[in-house]
Chains A and B, each alone.
Chain A
Amino acid sequence: MSGNLAGTAGRLRRAGSSALASRPSALPPNVRQALSRLGWTVVSVGLFVGLWELAWLLGIADARLLPPPHIFLGNIPDQARFFNTATRWQIGVDAAAGPSPYEAVGITVAATAGRVFAGLAIAAVLSVTVGVLVRYFALFEKLTLPTITLLSPVSPIAWLPVAIFIFGIGNAPAIFMVVVALFFHMVLSTVSQIDGVNRNFINVGRTMGATKRQIYARVIIPAILPQMLIVLRLNLFGAWMVVLVAESTGVGFGLGQVIMLARNTFNPSLVFFTIALIGLLGFLTDWLLRQVQRRILYWVPQTTGVLRGL
């Protein structure tokens, strides 16, 4: 599919410039495309960084409050010191003991990412299941949908105390926060996806003699899958946001805890360093999910090429 798209793009480019077409290219089109995308990402981020650095040069951005990237990224080992895993904060443990600063960053990042994915996976499975049940059983809908609708606008922050009451401190409350932040509106979105399934698909199933269960399993669920994966991708960012809130209340270790530490010790460099890290992680996980999407949903046409043509 990507090869196809690249082919179209290639044709368009050739149509635009015959000089380009005559130049032989050593790289296959999809590699070239990936490189070009990467290049533009660097340019986009570079532009932002450049403006910030300029503001610093002109004295608009105070380095004590808004340290520009060359400062907060300049001394990574120094920043990494603060990424303590729980053992090193324990009383009686030597501050130099335990993992090295870089290992600590790795452990922290892995812990947070693990919570994000655990929460996302649980929320996805739960909400699609509940959403399908809502449409499958009328009674189930009557019993649950009003409550789900009622709870979906509640900010995840409001669930934080509940998370701590129930789960105490550790991974569980952070994962719970992610799940609770995504679950309700993903249920509503599942229900609306089911309602939007092409009537003809369902009628085909019916004329073929499919039972209700077969229609749900063989027609409706595959039909809503593409949109559900997009919903999941959009909620991935939500999950990254919520996990930080959950971690800032003290789950042992995590990026949220580092942010809180930076706040309490008035360390803007550490804040921005962590923000940069989170941005990078969010970017990478989104890319990962996009790859998954492309593998699973081979039948969904990619329309960006059409929009580019406008």
Chain B
Amino acid sequence: MVCRGVSKTWAAGTARAHEALRDVDLDVAPGEFVVLLGPSGCGKSTLLYLIAGLEEATGGAIRSFRDAVDRPSPDRSLIFQETSLFPWLSVWQNVAFGLSIRGAPEEERRNVAREALARVGLAEAMHKRPDELSGGMRQRVAVARALAMRPKVLLMDEPFAALDVQTRAKMQDFLLDVWRDSGASVLFVTHHIDEAVALADRVVVFTARPGRIKSIVPVDLPRPRDPFSPECAHLRARLTGELRGEVDRAFAEQEALAGAA
């Protein structure tokens, strides 16, 4: 996955135009776990949508395994912050949705769904309805749905933001297991420093709007990581320092915007 000079301006050419991303260069190696960290509204989610092919960049180029990204593809599965399971389908039908789009026979769909659900530890929930599951379980189903498509890249847009702290920690462990099994690269957006420390091979820190890459921090700690170890504390301190100025700037800008409006 290669991004070169990627820029995005929303509502370009109108009075409401605003620049979300400017000149982002980012390479993601196969099987790498990259966390995008930045203040809210810095355009990190926008980058994810661009990579997913759901939005078009206004500048630069994105390539995925040498193919230019110009449309969504099951190779690059996006997992959203809010649950995005279809409430009218059962859990397994949700997981197999992508396969049914391709016209796969029922037998295959069931098998793939069963396997994907087993990988997220929800084999029992096959025939449940999404509204019968907890928030954490729903996100696991969403991960299973992405895995069922055998993606090369998992794009995750603050997937655990709506979960409580304990569930979130569990989900991080679970995600690392799934990631190791699947061999896919992960691009994970968060504004949570702890989450970045727990998960990342590399942390990409974004500036406030327009989002640019401020720094890239490699994390060479073995997993599972002890969040209370001195190395993690050191990393956390460093990321906090990187981020502090940006959060202040983001705040000032939002206040200025509110004043102008």
Contact = CB atoms under 8 A, between A and B. Distances in A.
Contacts, number: 61
A222 interface: yes
B72 A209 contact: yes
B101 A210 contact: yes
Given A201-B86, A299-B88, A206 B72 contact: yes
Nearest to A200: B84
Given A203-B84, A207-B76, A301 B131 contact: yes
A289 interface: no
A198 B81 CA distance: 13
> Top 10 A-B pairs ranked by shortest CB distance?
A208-B98, A200-B84, A299-B87, A206-B72, A207-B72, A222-B88, A210-B101, A200-B80, A299-B88, A204-B84
Given A218-B101, A299-B88, A208 B74 contact: yes
Interface residues of A, number: 21
Interface in A281-310: 298-301
A111 to B, nearest CB: 37
B149 A208 contact: yes
A214 interface: yes
B101 A198 contact: no
Nearest to A219: B86
A214 B99 CA distance: 12
A221 B74 CA distance: 22
B69 to A, nearest CB: 12
A222 B131 CA distance: 16
Interface in B84-126: 84, 86-88, 97-98, 100-102
Contacts of B131: 299, 301
A253 B9 CA distance: 65
B74 A209 contact: yes
B77 interface: yes
Nearest to B86: A201
A130 B65 CA distance: 42
Given A200-B82, A203-B54, A301-B131, A208 B88 contact: no
B106 to A, nearest CB: 15
Contacts of B80: 200, 203-204
A48 B98 CA distance: 56
Contacts of A219: 86
Given A200-B84, A299-B131, A207 B97 contact: no
B254 interface: no
A248 B76 CA distance: 63
Q: Which of B72, B86, B88 has the most CB of A within 10 A?
A: B88
Contacts of B129: 298-299
Nearest to A225: B88
A215 to B, nearest CB: 9
Contacts of B98: 208-209
B158 to A, nearest CB: 13
A305 B168 CA distance: 30
Interface in A208-258: 208-210, 214, 218-219, 222-223, 225
B259 to A, nearest CB: 29
B56 to A, nearest CB: 13
Given A201-B86, A222-B86, A301-B131, A207 B74 contact: yes
B54 A206 contact: yes
Nearest to A206: B72
20 contacts: A200-B84, A203-B52, A203-B72, A205-B97, A207-B52, A207-B54, A207-B72, A207-B77, A208-B97, A209-B73, A209-B74, A209-B98, A209-B101, A218-B97, A218-B100, A218-B101, A219-B86, A222-B88, A223-B86, A299-B130
Given A198-B84, A201-B84, A300-B87, 12 more contacts: A200-B80, A201-B86, A203-B72, A207-B53, A207-B73, A208-B101, A209-B98, A219-B86, A222-B86, A299-B129, A299-B130, A299-B131
